[in-house]
Amino acid sequence: YVFCITMRFSFHLLCNSPSPSFPLPPFFPVYCCPKNWKSFSSSCYFFSTDAKSWNSSQENCSRMEAHLVVINSKEEQDFLTQNMAKTAAYFVGLSDPEGHGHWQWVDQTPYNQSATFWHPGEPSHSEERCVIVNHPSTSSKWGWNDIRCKVHYRSVCEMMNFYL
């Protein structure tokens, strides 16, 4: 790991090279995430500690050149839950704006039934149009629940990592 600063962000970045060997050869990619973000695969993730509505959460991510997290795989879901507090719940970038069961990811990734992690019995109500990840005390597992969008929860932002 090396710390570095670029023009794009006026704060420290955490950079992770694919190999720990130094010195790095010329043009060797060094992938970076903003400091206080976590790196997984080719993305960077920010786990908020304050609670906001779904819309405010997405706006907050946008201000950081990110979007609410889009979950593409079991591995990504597991990475996320390993970094979440069991006592909290986190908005993700999945919503059903019309309440007709047409679930949409914020980055237009097609909604893929085979990579969903709903709790049993969810999604449950047409007026619950936004999705949280949580670990209910009554459940042994992490999973998704649809919920009213204006209730305040923590959230996770995602951006592509970038290289120097």
Q: In whole angstroms, give the CA distance from residue 144 to residue 122.
A: 7
93/143 with CB nearer Ca ion: 143
76/128 with CB nearer Ca ion: 128
What minimum distance in Å lies between the beta carbon of 4 and Ca ion?
A: 43
Q: In whole angstroms, give the CA distance from residue 158 to residue 148.
A: 22
Amino acid at 160: M
What minimum distance in Å lies between the beta carbon of 100 and Ca ion?
A: 15
Query: b/e map of 71-101 (b: 16 or more CB within 10 Å)?
Result: beeeebbebbbeebeeebbbbbbbbbeeeee
96/146 with CB nearer Ca ion: 146
What minimum distance in Å lies between the beta carbon of 88 and Ca ion?
A: 17
Q: In whole angstroms, give the CA distance from residue 162 to residue 15.
A: 9
Q: Judged by CB under 5 A, which of 68, 90, 96, 128 binds Ca ion?
A: 128
Strand bridging mode 89-95 / 154-160: parallel
* Residue 62 touches Ca ion, criterion: CB under 5 A: no
60: three-class secondary structure by DSSP: helix
43/57 with CB nearer Ca ion: 57
- How many chain residues touch Ca ion (CB under 5 A)? 5
Q: Which of residues 87-126 bind Ca ion (CB under 5 A)?
A: 122, 124
* Residue 145 touches Ca ion, criterion: CB under 5 A: yes
What minimum distance in Å lies between the beta carbon of 111 and Ca ion?
A: 17
128/158 with CB nearer Ca ion: 128
Cα-based distances in Å from 50 to 6, 29, 72, 116, 132: 27, 34, 25, 25, 14
What minimum distance in Å lies between the beta carbon of 125 and Ca ion?
A: 6
Q: Which residues of this protein are in contact with Ca ion, per CB under 5 A?
A: 122, 124, 128, 145-146
